[in-house]
Amino acid sequence: MSMPLSPTKLFVCDGCGATLPLAGTNRGQKCRCGGCGKILIVPGIEEEPEAAVSAVPEVPETVGFFCRVCDTRIVARTGDVGKKAKCPDCWAMTVIPPPPKVRPKKPPAAMHGQQYGLWDVDEAPLPKDLAARQPKFFPVYCRVCDTLMHAQLKQVGTKLTCPDCGGKTVVLPPPKEKPRPDVLVPDGEEYQLDKTHIPPTRPVIVSQAARNRQYREESGEEQLRQEYYERPQLPGNPLLEGVFRMLVRSPLPECIFVFAFALALEVWFIANAMANVSGLAMAIVLMSYAVTAVFGLLSFGAASAFWVGVLTESSEGNDKLYNPPGPVFLDWVGNFFYVAFAFCLAVAPGCLAWRFIPQLPFGVGPLLADLGCVLLFPIFLLSQLENGSALEFFSPKLVRSLIKRPGPWLLFYVESTLLIAGCGAAVVGLQVLSGWLIIASVLLLSGTSFLYFRLLGRLAWWLAETITDDDDLPDAETP
d(CA 287, CA 283) in angstroms, rounded, equals: 6
Tell whether the model's pLDDT for residue 333 goes beyond 60.
yes
Strands 137-141 and 73-77: unpaired
Beta strands in 148-280 (DSSP E): 148-152, 159-161, 168-170
Tell whether the model's pLDDT for residue 1 goes beyond 50.
no
Across 248-270, average pLDDT: 84
d(CA 107, CA 104) in angstroms, rounded, equals: 10
Residue 377 neighbours by CB under 8 Å, 6+ apart: 342, 343, 346
| Residue 288, helix vs strand vs coil | helix
Tell whether the model's pLDDT for residue 7 goes beyond 80.
no
Question: Mean of the per-residue pLDDT values for the chain?
Answer: 79
30-34, 194-198, 357-361, 444-448: which is most confident = 444-448
CB contact burial 178-202 (16+ within 10 A = b; e otherwise): eeeeeeeeeeeeeeeeeeeeeeeee
How many other C-beta atoms lie within 10 A of the C-beta of residue 47?
14
Tell whether the model's pLDDT for residue 257 goes beyond 60.
yes
**Is the bond preceding 139 in cis, omega lying within 30 degrees of 0?**
no
Higher pLDDT, 148 or 429: 148
pLDDT recorded at residue 276: 59
pLDDT digits (tens, 9 = 90+) for 336-346: 889 988 888 88
pLDDT digits (tens, 9 = 90+) for 348-385: 887 777 777 777 676 666 777 778 788 889 999 989 88
Tell whether the model's pLDDT for residue 16 goes beyond 80.
no
pTM of the model as a whole: 0.51
DSSP at 5: B
pLDDT digits (tens, 9 = 90+) for 73-84: 899 888 888 899
pLDDT band at 38 (very low <50, low <70, confident <90, very high): confident
pLDDT band at 478 (very low <50, low <70, confident <90, very high): very low
Higher pLDDT, 46 or 259: 259
47-56, 184-193, 223-232, 236-245: which is most confident = 236-245
pLDDT recorded at residue 171: 92
Tell whether the model's pLDDT for residue 443 goes beyond 90.
no
Instruction: Identify any residues that bridge with 160 across adjacent strands, giving them in sequence order.
Output: 169
DSSP at 246: G
Tell whether the model's pLDDT for residue 141 goes beyond 90.
yes
Between the CA of residue 46 and those of 2, 43, 57, 106, 224, what are the distances in Å? 11, 8, 21, 20, 105
3-state SS track over 68-132: CCCCCEEEEEHHHCCCEEECCCCCCEEECCCCCCCCCCCCCHHHCCCCCCCCCCCCCCCHHHHHH
Question: Where are the domains positioned within the chain?
Answer: 1-56, 62-100, 130-174, 203-232, 242-472
Tell whether the model's pLDDT for residue 447 goes beyond 50.
yes
First and final C-alpha spacing in the chain: 121
Tell whether the model's pLDDT for residue 4 goes beyond 70.
no
pLDDT recorded at residue 432: 66
pLDDT band at 281 (very low <50, low <70, confident <90, very high): low
| Residue 30, helix vs strand vs coil | strand
